[in-house]
A and B are shown apart, each in its own frame.
Chain A
Amino acid sequence: AWASYMTNSPTLIVMIGLPARGKTYVSKKLTRYLNWIGVPTKVFNLGVYRREAVKSYKSYDFFRHDNKEAMEIRKRCALVALEDVKAYLLEECGQIAVRFSALNVVLHLGTSELPRAFGVFFVESVCDDPEVIAANILEVKVSSPDYPERNRENVMDDFLKRIECYKVTYQPLDPDAYDKDLSFIKVINVGQRFLVNRVQDYIQSKIVYYLMNIHVQPRTIYLCRHGESEYNLVGKIGGDSGLSPRGKQFAQALKKFIEEQEIVDLKVWTSQLKRTIQTAESLGVTYEQWKILNEIDAGVCEEMTYAEIEAKYPDEFALRDQEKYLYRYPGGESYQDLVQRLEPVIMELERQGNVLVISHQAVMRCLLAYFLDKSADELPYLRCPLHTMLKLTPVAYGCKVETITLNVEAVDTHRDKPSLNSNNLPASQTPVRMRRNSFTPRASADTVKRPRHYSVGSKPLEALGPFPSLE
């Protein structure tokens, strides 16, 4: 398979820790981040396998280490999960499998049994702060499928006893002796401290950086676009026009909205294009300009209307509708390029508290896709209308989103994906060239396909045949 050409072999991330230490939270968040930056990642949750095997959960007794029957079931679940992991990484061309288990059986299955083709990276969450643990239990365990009818106190009680069952056999990673050759990060007390051991490659380094920047403090992220611009009014894309009168009205409405929300220590970020800055100016607060928040560069199509583009560049126009995420404007950018450019924004958003980001349609779609875990297919069609605020609040394992329209009229700049009509396809077209991080140079004299190194997550081009799935 193509995996052998990869500079980076697939990675298995194994989550470790007692229950209510945030393993599922970190697994899901990390998976969301990795998928967003283009590294196919999937979570294999042992709890889910266990719930499949044991239809109804009775009590914490299941988790006692001297409950032989239960231990057998749990071991079998682990093996089944491991098989699925292998299938994902080797056959489905996944890049990373995040597997979590509080069982130390996993460690005994150990690195010797896993094929050499995997990199294995352990993420351990250690917590000795009882308040944090109690808060975790309340936030996510009380509503777990394991506890459909119980009341809070019973849940808390049963869960704490469950934790005690694990404590008996829990062997934390030991960097000084037993585990000194393993690659891992130990997260202590929700990010207060980290121990990092033997980071092997690029992807492990990025995972460590990400884990060190995320936090669990409550906060809210506000996403909106600039007010309606002069170009919006005439349907031109891109450029650097100022706000229309209605756009200026929106800026005023935004100011009022922000004041009413009474947000503590709100940071305001804009792009370096005039329309977002003008919008921020109305707020009368300090704001920070980021060039990387600029709208997608439409290259030769800048400042044209869609009608003009269709007339002047019909092939490009059709291509874009076929594969909007990967399509790169000639001399410009693609959504995929945009995601790469926005990664430092996401990283800083993770570090920050309350932030208002005033940006642009394509940019906002990319940011929203990160928070709401939207795939590359859906991303370019997410609805981000003008004069509408999206308020994102982290909750449990995901993000709550509230849409707030600020009641100032604006044009609609959204284009849905048109239904594919073979008449639209350019006549000379072979399958659309996937422009990821490499493409086949047309002028290449050599017809022998050479092995290429790909950035993690990219697949080699197929000379013929359908394009590879994005998931």
Chain B
Amino acid sequence: SPARELTQNPLQKTWEPYNNGLPAGHSAQRGVCMTNCPTLIVMVGLPARGKTYISKKLTRYLNWIGVPTKEFNVGQYRRDLVKKYKSFEFFLPDNEEGLKIRKQCALAALNDVRQYLSEENGHVAVFDATNTTRERRETIYKFGEENGYKTFFVESVCVDPEVIAANIVQVKLGSPDYVDCSNDEATEDFMKRIECYKNSYETLDETLDKDLSYIKIMDVGRSYLVNRVMDHIQSRIVYYLMNIHVTPRSIYLCRHGESELNLKGRIGGDPGLSVRGKEFAKSLAQFINEQNIKDLKVWTSQMKRTIQTAEALGVPYEQWKVLNEIDAGVCEEMTYEEIQENYPLEFALRDQDKYRYRYPKGESYEDLVQRLEPVIMELERQENVLVICHQAVMRCLLAYFLDKPAEQLPYLKCPLHTVLKLTPVAYG
């Protein structure tokens, strides 16, 4: 039988086979990672061990790299059901009423997980609850098996009282549960809440749980135990979890100073800074000095305009080719008017779906996200960093930190001569 004809998707410029004028199956686009069956990530750990922090961060990362992910916080289900939180007594192991409600909430959450993964095209669901008993974990594992999901456990173990106290201050005192309490009352109640779980806590065990897939995170990332990683997505999750940290720090994002082509309204190219751009570079140097940032790393792209900007700072900097501006292919160095005149169809297509639109012989925002992933990974590893980059690049990085979806990403405001200072706080 003859090979099928190929047609090029006008938006993404990808070649797809077709039969009788309709797209045919058989080929798949390699996004960043392909998941064959949905994955259920199950958090495990005592309260105030960072489970929700990890859930939210992981969800944000997976969505950014293009894996549809959603988190399901059982505590939230409980708050929706039991309108007013009274005290830690709700969590006492012999509180029949409490146990009944908590089980109900867990099942409701699992039901929503099933709907997300099996009916709504979700790829990954993060089930955020203590899940501290083997029995509870078995129930969830069976649920995963019945529905054809791969289950991966993420346990956070921490005994350092300072870390736990800091967690309580960061995220528990402001919780809806404690809206009417003083800080001291809230802390006292929460410590008793943790005690309720301790007696029945069964940590993931090297022998008893040897057939499960999991990562055990100890002391906020000092060490990790990783067991039976099954596939690509689990491997990526493990890598990500091993690179994140909670040390306070700030990330500064800005664009290069105004360039000669900016002045002419032309996109792309490799121009140098305009007069005002050079002034910005000097102002940036002054700003950075005043901020007195400890051990600041400075990163630029390999395009002249970001490097010239960094040069004005008088500090060491590192050049990353992957921070280069989006490649506009045949439209490089044109003005938007010229593009509209010479490539009216392209111009229209771009406005239709700016995230997926790929310039002819160039890139799309979607391509940019894939190429920026190592930058994000290294930003997670680092502490204080200033990234001097470009408009499209900065939008992608910002979307990661602020959890903006693909539809909004290409329209995020990143004006010239503006620095965005990002500081992690609570869950965001």
From A7, A192, A272, A282, B228 is in contact (CB under 8 Å) with: A192
Shortest Cβ distance from A277 into B: residue: B15
Say yes or no: is A444 at the interface (Cβ < 8 Å to chain B).
Answer: yes
Q: Could you tell me if A205 and B223 are in contact, using CB atoms closer than 8 angstroms? A: no
Is the CB of A290 closer than 8 A to any CB of chain B?
A: yes
Q: How far is B30's CA from A446's CA once the two chains are assembled, in angstroms?
A: 45
A423 at the interface (CB under 8 A from B): no
A288 x B318 contact (CB < 8 A): no
Q: Which residues of A contact B272 (CB under 8 A)?
A: 443
For the complex, what is the distance from the CA of A194 to the CA of B26, rounded to whole Å? Answer: 37
By the criterion CB–CB under 8 Å, are A289 and B14 in contact? yes
Tell me the smallest distance from the CB of A364 to a CB of chain B, in Å. 18
Q: Judge if A466 is at the interface, Cβ distance under 8 Å.
A: no
A351 at the interface (CB under 8 A from B): yes
* B residues near A341, Cβ cutoff 8 Å: 371
A197-B222, A198-B223, A281-B3 are contacts. A451–B316 as well, Cβ < 8 Å?
Answer: yes
Q: Does A58 contact B (CB under 8 A)?
A: no
Q: When the two chains form their complex, are residues A212 and B30 in contact, meaning their CB atoms are under 8 A apart?
A: no
Taking the closest CB of chain A, its distance from the CB of B333, in whole angstroms, is 10
Q: Which residues of B have CB within 8 Å of A290?
A: 30
* Cβ contacts A197-208/B at 8 Å (1 or 0 each): 111001001001
Cα separation A281 to B16 with both chains bound (whole Å): 10
Q: Report the separation of the CA atoms of residues A273 and B367 in the bound assembly, to the nearest whole angstrom.
A: 15
A196 & B14 in contact (Cβ 8 Å cutoff): no
Question: Cβ of B227: which chain A residues have Cβ within 8 Å of it?
Answer: 192-194
Interface contact A291-B3, CB-CB below 8 Å: no
Given A197-B222, A208-B242: A453 in contact with B317 (beta carbons within 8 A): yes
| A278 near B311: Cβ-Cβ < 8 Å | no
Whether B311 contacts A444 by the Cβ 8 Å rule is: yes
Closest chain A residue, CB of each to CB of B300:
A438
Task: Please judge, given known A-B contacts A289-B14, A443-B304, whether A281 and B224 are in contact too, CB under 8 Å.
Answer: no
B235 CB-CB contact with A under 8 Å: yes
How many Å lie between the Cα of A82 and that of B63 in the bound state? 47
List, in ascending order, chain B residues with CB within 8 A of A284's CB: 1
Interchain nearest-CB distance for A304 vs B (Å): 14
Q: Is B319 an interface residue (CB 8 A)?
A: yes
Bound together, the chains give a CA A337 to CA B302 distance in angstroms of 12
Q: Tell which of B6, B210, B316, B381 touches A277, judged by Cβ atoms closer than 8 Å.
A: B6
A274 interface residue per 8 A CB criterion: yes
**A441 and B318 contacting across the interface, CB-CB below 8 Å:** no
A287 contacts B27, C-beta separation under 8 Å: yes
Interface size class of A (residues with CB under 8 A): 35 or more
Residues from chain B with a CB closer than 8 A to the CB of A452 are: 316-318
B236 to chain A, nearest CB (A): 9
- In the complex, the chain A residue whose C-beta lies closest to that of B243 is A205
Task: Give B1-58 interface residues, CB cut-off 8 Å to A.
Answer: 1, 3-4, 6, 8, 14-15, 17, 25-30, 34
- Map CB proximity to A onto B232-247 as digits: 1 under 8 Å, 0 otherwise: 1001001100110000
Q: Say yes or no: is A195 at the interface (Cβ < 8 Å to chain B).
A: yes
Among B252-287, those with CB < 8 Å from A are 272
For A331, the chain B residues whose CB sits under 8 A away are 332
Distance in angstroms between the alpha carbons of A240 and B222 in the assembled complex: 49
Q: Which of B273-324 contact A (CB under 8 A)?
A: 297, 302, 304, 307-308, 311, 314, 316-322
B232–A441 CB distance below 8 A: no
- At the interface, yes or no: B225 with Cβ under 8 Å from chain A? yes
How many Å lie between the Cα of A198 and that of B8 in the bound state? Answer: 49
B370 contacts the other chain (CB 8 A): yes
Nearest-neighbor residue (CB-CB) of B226 within chain A: A194
Specify the chain A residue showing the minimal Cβ separation from B29: A289
Chain A residues contacting B308 (CB-CB under 8 Å) are 441, 443
Instruction: Kindly report which residue of chain B lies nearest to residue A213, judged by CB atoms.
Output: B235
Chain A, range 439-470, C-beta contacts under 8 Å to B: 439, 441, 443-444, 446, 450-455
Cβ contacts A to B, 17 pairs, < 8 Å? A193-B210, A194-B225, A196-B225, A202-B378, A251-B3, A274-B6, A274-B15, A278-B6, A280-B27, A285-B26, A286-B25, A351-B232, A438-B319, A443-B272, A444-B311, A450-B316, A453-B317
B interface residues (Cβ-Cβ under 8 A, vs A):
1, 3-4, 6, 8, 14-15, 17, 25-30, 34, 206, 210, 222-229, 231-232, 235, 238-239, 242-243, 272, 297, 302, 304, 307-308, 311, 314, 316-322, 332, 361, 367, 370-371, 378, 381
